[in-house]
Amino acid sequence: MFLLQNSHDLLNLALTLAVLVLASLLAWLLVYFILTAKELYHATKEAHEGVKSMGEVIGAFREKMEHGFLLITLATQALKKVVGIVREKKEKNSK
């Protein structure tokens, strides 16, 4: 039995090959899209982790600066008291 008996058989064979090629192309595009989406997900995840770690660094820096300013304020107040006490003693000694 010969496979191609008339022109309809040839048309059906051509359509079958076209559908197979189109299905293969669509499958390849789908795989390519999935791999690209996976890489984009990993890149976004790494960027999110980087931003999170930067936030933690900035938070730690802010906390240290607040404590530093608190210490400077306390030291300034203590220095003012010491200067005040020294002035009072000088005033008492000069009288």
Over the stretch 74-89, which tens digit does the pLDDT of each residue have? 888 888 898 888 888 8
Is pLDDT of 2 > 70?
no
Average pLDDT of every residue of the chain: 89
- Percentage of residues in the chain with pLDDT exceeding 90? 46
Q: What is the pLDDT of residue 95?
A: 66
- Given its phi and psi angles, is residue 81 left (phi above 0), alpha (psi -120 to 50 degrees) or beta? alpha
Write down the pTM of the prediction. Answer: 0.53
Over the stretch 13-42, which tens digit does the pLDDT of each residue have? 999 999 999 999 999 999 999 999 999 999
